[in-house]
Structure 1
Amino acid sequence: MAIIEIQEDEWMGLVRIGDGKDAILFSSPFCGTCKVAERMLEVVEASNVPVTIYKMNINYAPKLRNAWKISSIPCLVLLRNGEPVRYEYAMRSVHYLYDIMRV
């Protein structure tokens, strides 16, 4: 399964039940570092981490950007039941991303 591209209004409409673990990569199509981060997350996703990984264009997500105070991109937001629990701005390595997502 690939990283799921999602729009802000779609995310806001999702219902979170139970112990849902998700991650959203906020990026822009014009950001080279964001493309590297996405590729790293594709490798992590292929290793079957227990997290659903989404990506969202920061330019079209003003509500979430402001509510979650996202200051730069790429930004990986780890969520539990739809609520942010961790923000990662530095995608250090595939191994690092794998470790923080399997917890």
Structure 2
Amino acid sequence: MQELTQQELIDRVNHNEEGSFAVFLFTPFCGTCKITERMLEIIRTMQPDLPLVKSNINFLPQLSREWQITSVPCIVMLEAGKENTFMYRMQSVDELYRRLLPLINN
């Protein structure tokens, strides 16, 4: 999973020609973030074309405020023409896969 800086992420959001994608927001010392990342890697193994990137929230002060991120881990789904969707609770690989499925089909 590619890790983006704040500027790279802002550029991708503002100039998104690739369609919908998701951003996994984490901090390196968060145990729940590590579990979520493992679940996302399982999904990426099944769906290598999943448009998913990650960013360390510690280096995203502007986007954290703009998106009003309340905690990590957080997955932000950015779908063209729709309001951003924020996921804070990742219970299982299956549930996470179902929630990310619309991005795969776009």
TM range (shorter): 0.7 to 0.9
Q: Give a deviation string over 1:26-65, Cα, whole Å, max 9, x none.
A: 1100111100000100111111175311111011001111
Q: Which runs of 5+ in 1 are unaligned?
A: none
Q: Which runs of 5+ in 2 are unaligned?
A: none
Change (3 A) 1:73 1:84: farther
Match of 2:90 in 1: 91
Match of 1:17 in 2: 17
Q: Which has the higher strand share?
A: 1
Give every structure 1 segment of 4 or more consecutive aligned residues whose post-TM-superposition deviation is greater than 3 Å.
Answer: 81-84
Equivalent residue runs for 1:1-103 within 5 Å: 3-14=1-12, 15-17=15-17, 20-48=19-47, 51-81=50-80, 85-103=84-102
Q: Percent identity?
A: 36
Change (3 A) 1:82 1:39: farther
Structure 1 length as normaliser, TM-score?
A: 0.87
CA RMSD of the aligned region, Å? 1.9
Q: Which has the higher helix share?
A: 2
